[in-house]
Structure 1
């Protein structure tokens, strides 16, 4: 086979491997379909959204229908002015049916419960938005950990190779009477430390790959399946570069804070719902009834009755339970408000830390690039020095 054919085959193999490798966003797409934590979050959101309909139901009309049918066997005694006491035995069927429509007109408890349901639905939506972002963070975290661990493994292997060569060289020099046993032990110690670093890096990589496998549902995920990060990436400028703008964006858009604010709203309307236990309720109702022989007094009689009216319910005393429940709900609301303050502080502290890291990251990256260039030049210079020293030794 010609060299050109071999090169073409190698390039084809490389292209095939690159095509099969998956990047972080492909992993994220798989995680959206397979991560059990995220799938559970979807169901949690769907369940939470139903609170809106549950709360609204208390404001809508209620329609009910009832029906009963029975067989009666009774003995009736009555006084007749001519014949005296007369006793009759009656065997008859009876039935009754009722269709009722009721519409709340004034019911503050139902209104507060509806607003609480709306807040619970909004909380479920914001909480799900936060968990969606958490999934992306988890994917990127485990993805970069797996690749970083591979770099650490490669570094550890390079160290082991260098220290092994140093060990062999020091032992040879010791045998020639030009070295010390300390040099041998030092090289051996460094070799063992590099071995420990390799083991630790492999453990970290195994853990990261297992996490990615759990996210994607791919049990046999290998680091070679991951698309390596680009080495020629360009540093970016933080836009906007003003912290105050990011501060306002975090307060307005952060899903953790948004969900916590809805939690406060839920607690607030829970207070109102309990307080409504002191308030009257007014509702309108309409009823259609059909009864036949429903009682002894209506034997062999049928009634068709249509009724429309209003009903007023006024609570007078409930043993102090309403007041106690209201106080309890108020304390829970205050707790939610304090927790919102705590979450806000945590978010802003983390925002400041990440903002500073992004600003300083560009300078740090440039410094690392310069250090890498200097280190590469140092390696070249050191190799030339070693070659020169070996040449001088050979001449002697």
Structure 2
């Protein structure tokens, strides 16, 4: 049954994808919406959270009354031997039925172990909730990361193809000049070498793109997505205003909101109450109890006798010695708690380092984009002026190849800087713990809806 449901889910995702393709290309937000329904990692995270939330109820159960009922009925065959008045043994064969019925209620009054287990369950529940929040935000990052990787690979493919076309034209031109006695064999080999390098770059970019598209397909439950299904980045997109503008505020937001740090803090609490739970092995327990019991011929001493007994009282149990096991388990739990505290310190430092890196990348990304845009304009002008200089005899063939190479490298670096900026802006919110669907929708606006021409 589950196999059929999975197949239907994949078929539904594929049909949805085809429907979207007929209308418009898919942006990151559309991919994310489908990933919410189909990504196995995210769906598994939902079940992990649901299972973790039950720990609160499991822990609370130790503080609540326990009611139990026990019933037994049997057939007995026994011999009773006794002395008669004359001092002789007399044997009495007894074949009889017996039964017992007991209804009991127990309520903890003083049980520190049960209380510690309850607080541990609450911490485990909060841990599960924060872990799920982290994986929800991580899904946003994974969608955009694979989306931009696929688009950047397409940019590299386009650049490699433009390189091949330019170097092929240069090769043919050099070959013609060589036949006319105006060029050299070195010029031909240089153009041919760069053409082959561009071919290798295109092959590598296609492999990268295939992997990224398959990753996106796995997120939405289809084998793969075509690059034509994706919306390309708008070349005129505007950078986002960084709010808040100072790092200290982002630092405070990360410490307060980052789900990975929050879940690790709950892991420390889980370990702390595990210490308390083990320490409670040295403490007394007080329980109130009540029973309603009915017995008939329960034993040989009560043969043919029926008892109805109602009992209410207090039970006190005091542990005296358990072979040192309680102390050892308490020490063991303490070391585990200290490990969790060190893990929290390490994860906090790691998160804040990444937060600072993404914050700096957002600030520098704006200037980098501006610089690369100017560099691209200059590189385009350089190619034109170099070709004109060659015609005038002021430059040689190698200068033209170098100018073309600089132009293509600048185009690639500009494309990379655009995607890096979007990822830095997204990851800044991720490490701050504030990344949500509205943020992805804002990034989604940077992508056009025309799709790639195949």
Work out whether the TM-score is over 0.5. Answer: yes
What is aligned with 2:323?
Answer: 319
Structure 1 position 174 matched with structure 2 position 175: no
Gaps of 5+ in 2: 1-19, 394-454
Structure 1 position 136 matched with structure 2 position 133: no
Per the TM alignment, residue 238 of structure 1 is displaced from its structure 2 partner at its CA by 1.0
Distance in 2, Cα, partners of 1:272 & 1:126: 23
CA contact (8 A) 1:75 1:89 kept: yes
Q: Which moved more, 1:275-284 or 1:176-185?
A: 176-185
What is aligned with 1:355?
Answer: 359
What is aligned with 1:344?
Answer: 348
1:162-213 CA-to-partner distances (Å, cap 9, x unmatched) read 1111111111111111111111111111011000000000000000001001
Q: How does 1:1-396 map to 2 (within 5 A)?
A: 19-82=23-86, 84-379=88-383, 381=385
Distance in 1, Cα, partners of 2:319 & 2:209: 66
1:14-63 CA-to-partner distances (Å, cap 9, x unmatched) read xx968331110100011111011111111111111111011000000001
3-state DSSP of counterpart to 2:241 = coil
What is aligned with 1:4?
Answer: none
CA 1:383/1:183 → structure 2, altered by over 3 Å: closer, same or farther? Answer: closer
1:288-339 CA-to-partner distances (Å, cap 9, x unmatched) read 0010011111111111100001111111101000000000000000000001
TM-score (norm 2): 0.80
Distance in 2, Cα, partners of 1:17 & 1:161: 31
What is aligned with 1:393?
Answer: none
CA contact (8 A) 1:72 1:91 kept: yes
TM-score (norm 1): 0.91
Q: Bigger relative contact order, structure 1 or 2, given CA contacts below 8 A and separation 6+?
A: 2
Structure with greater Cα Rg: 1
Distance in 2, Cα, partners of 1:56 & 1:21: 51
Per the TM alignment, residue 92 of structure 1 is displaced from its structure 2 partner at its CA by 0.6
Distance in 2, Cα, partners of 1:334 & 1:222: 50
3-state DSSP of counterpart to 2:90 = strand
Per the TM alignment, residue 382 of structure 1 is displaced from its structure 2 partner at its CA by 5.5
Distance in 1, Cα, partners of 2:374 & 2:172: 33
Per the TM alignment, residue 377 of structure 1 is displaced from its structure 2 partner at its CA by 3.8
3-state DSSP of counterpart to 1:131 = helix
CA 1:175/1:387 → structure 2, altered by over 3 Å: closer, same or farther? Answer: closer
What is aligned with 1:7?
Answer: none
Per the TM alignment, residue 159 of structure 1 is displaced from its structure 2 partner at its CA by 0.3
3-state DSSP of counterpart to 1:306 = strand
What is aligned with 2:405?
Answer: none
Q: Which runs of at least 4 in structure 1 moved beyond 6 Å after TM superposition?
A: 383-389
What is aligned with 2:438?
Answer: none
Distance in 2, Cα, partners of 1:55 & 1:203: 51
1:254-304 CA-to-partner distances (Å, cap 9, x unmatched) read 011000000000000000000000000000000000100111111111111
CA RMSD of aligned residues (A): 1.7
Distance in 2, Cα, partners of 1:335 & 1:94: 58
3-state DSSP of counterpart to 2:106 = strand
CA contact (8 A) 2:216 2:224 kept: no
1:63-117 CA-to-partner distances (Å, cap 9, x unmatched) read 1111110001111111222574322111110000101100000000000011000
Q: Which moved more, 1:277-286 or 1:70-79?
A: 70-79
Distance in 1, Cα, partners of 2:257 & 2:183: 66
Distance in 2, Cα, partners of 1:103 & 1:248: 45
What is aligned with 2:444?
Answer: none
Distance in 2, Cα, partners of 1:17 & 1:260: 42
